């Protein structure tokens, strides 16, 4: 089960990376006056490149759902961060440049830290579903933070706008991951429970809202701000939901738990460094195409 969860998570990361590069290139070509709400989506759906990215996103989501069927949020979501390891060479390939040694170094650090996290932390599953009341406190905080970010983004431009929208995207996608795990569990009992479960509709809202927020963040520019926020924020939000709502836990105790904490910090640092490099690579790709 562990190997299946890891395999599907890595496949999802690859597909998300392909979608990431394609959709950013499409979104960055949209003029500011057409970059609000549904107008942005209506413009993007005319782009074959955006549709290619959309197909990658769908494939990535299905692979992620399969991974969550076999593993916990605490295991799967950190592995999704490896999308950066795929996005960097893709961006370099399209931009016609060679990866920097620092990128390769950070990639090695992230890979080793992730492997150590899985082995030492031994993330354990809780319950894939939880009573509605368990969702309310965490959900209220996350929704409130998302609304604040969106409202504040509407009054900002440039880096501040991109960062705020990216944080909102991370919240939506973190909740989406948790909802996906719940829906996968409901589907084991048949299509009926899945269609009547409120988690299914939470999944739809989080997916649509997250997609719209992500495209808006991409269009706002300054990927060096938005990409790190999404890639670090999404697994953090998913982990918060996993621990507070689904009762997932890290099995390590004593010194092992301390080591897990250090590994999380190392993974975050490597992710931010790689995300910034990926942002530059993707921007270079867009410039080369235009």
Q: What is the pLDDT of residue 64?
A: 94
- Spatial neighbors of 151 by CB under 8 A, at least 6 apart, are none
Joined tokens for residue 143: 């929704």
* Cα distance between residue 255 and residue 121, in whole Å: 11
Find, among 287, 286, 230, the residue nearest to 23 by Cα: 286
Distance CA 7, CA 267 (A): 19
Q: How many domains does the chain have?
A: 1
Instruction: Single out the residue of 103, 78, 74 nearest to residue 90, CA to CA.
Output: 103
What is the pLDDT, as a whole number, of residue 280?
65
Instruction: List strand residue ranges (DSSP E) for the chain, in order.
Output: 123-124, 249-250
* Phi, psi for residue 114 in degrees, rounded to 5: -65, -45
> What predicted TM-score, i.e. pTM, was given to this entire model?
0.80
What token pair was written down for 206?
Answer: 């989080």
pLDDT in tens, the chain (290 residues): 788 999 999 999 999 888 877 877 777 677 666 555 567 777 788 888 889 988 998 999 999 999 999 988 988 988 888 888 887 777 677 666 677 888 888 888 988 988 888 888 888 888 888 888 889 999 999 999 999 999 999 888 877 888 899 999 999 999 999 999 999 989 988 898 888 889 999 999 999 999 889 878 877 765 666 777 888 888 889 988 998 998 888 888 888 889 988 998 998 888 888 877 766 655 555 555 55
Residues 6 or more apart in contact with residue 189 via CB below 8 angstroms: none
Domain residues for 253?
2-289
Exposed/middle/buried for residue 222 (C-beta within 10 Å: 0-12, 13-18, 19+) = middle
DSSP 3-state of 271: helix
Q: Tokens 């690859």 identify what position?
A: 14
Pull the structure tokens for residue 13: 């990361």
Buried b / exposed e over 60-85, threshold 16 CB at 10 Å, is bbebbbbbbbbbbbbbbbbbbbbbbb
3-state secondary structure of 250: strand
Mean pLDDT of the chain: 84
- Quote the pLDDT of residue 127: 82
212 three-class SS: helix
CA–CA dist 161, 32 (Å, integer): 12
User: What does the alpha-carbon distance between residue 250 and residue 92 come to, in Å, rounded to a whole number?
Assistant: 36
Determine contact, residues 49/22, Cβ cutoff 8 Å.
yes
Q: Which residues contact 90 (CB under 8 A, 6 or more apart)?
A: 17, 18, 21
d(CA 255, CA 261): 10
pLDDT at 59: 95
Count helices and strands in the chain by DSSP H and E runs? 12, 2
């Amino acid at each position: 089960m562990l190997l299946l969860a890891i395999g599907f998570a890595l496949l999802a990361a690859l597909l998300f990376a392909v979608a990431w590069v394609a959709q950013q290139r499409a979104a960055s070509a949209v003029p500011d006056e057409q970059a609000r709400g549904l107008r942005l989506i209506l413009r993007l759906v005319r782009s074959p490149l955006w549709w290619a990215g959309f197909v990658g996103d769908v494939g990535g989501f299905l692979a992620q759902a399969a991974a969550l069927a076999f593993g916990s949020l605490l295991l799967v979501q950190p592995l999704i961060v490896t999308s950066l390891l795929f996005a960097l060479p893709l961006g370099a390939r399209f931009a016609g440049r060679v990866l920097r040694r620092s990128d390769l170094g950070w990639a090695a650090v992230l890979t080793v830290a992730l492997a150590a996290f899985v082995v030492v932390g031994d993330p354990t599953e809780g319950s894939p579903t939880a009573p509605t009341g368990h969702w309310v406190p965490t959900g209220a905080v996350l929704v409130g933070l998302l609304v604040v970010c969106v409202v504040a983004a509407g009054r900002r431009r440039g880096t501040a706008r991109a960062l705020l929208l990216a944080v909102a995207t991370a919240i939506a996608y973190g909740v989406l991951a948790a909802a996906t795990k719940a829906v996968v569990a409901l589907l084991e009992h048949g299509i009926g429970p899945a269609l009547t479960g409120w988690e299914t509709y939470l999944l739809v809202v989080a997916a649509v809202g997250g997609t719209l927020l992500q495209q808006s963040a991409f269009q706002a520019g300054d990927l060096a701000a938005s990409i790190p926020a999404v890639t670090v924020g999404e697994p953090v939000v998913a982990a918060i939901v996993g621990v507070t709502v689904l009762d997932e836990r890290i099995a390590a105790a004593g010194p092992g738990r301390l080591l897990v904490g250090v590994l999380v910090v190392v993974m975050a640092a490597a992710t931010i460094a790689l995300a910034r490099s990926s942002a530059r690579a993707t921007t270079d790709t867009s410039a080369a195409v235009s």
